[in-house]
Amino acid sequence: MSAISVGQAVVLGAVEGVTEFLPVSSTGHLKITEGLMGLPVDDDAVVGFSAVIQVGAIAAVLVYFSKDIVRIVSAWFRGLKNREERHHHDYRFAWWVIFATIPIVVVGLAAKPLIDGPLASLWVVAGSLIVGSGVMWAADQMGRHKRGEDDTTFKDTMLVGGSQILALLFPGFSRSGATMSTALILDLDRVAATRLSFFLGIPALTGAGLYELKDALGTGTGAAPLVVGTAVSFVVAYGSIAWLLKFVAKHSFNTFVIYRIVAGLLLFGLLGTGVL
State pLDDT tens for residues 69-81.
999 999 999 999 9
First to last CA, the chain: 18
| Widest pairwise Cα distance in the chain | 64
* pTM score, whole prediction: 0.87
Region of residue 170 (left: phi > 0; alpha: psi -120 to 50; beta: else) = beta
Q: pLDDT class for 1, splitting at 50, 70, 90? A: very low
Average pLDDT value for residue range 244-262 = 94
Average pLDDT value for residue range 212-216 = 65
Q: What is the dihedral of CA 45, 37, 236, 19, to 10 degrees?
A: -90
- Report the SS3 class of residue 23: coil
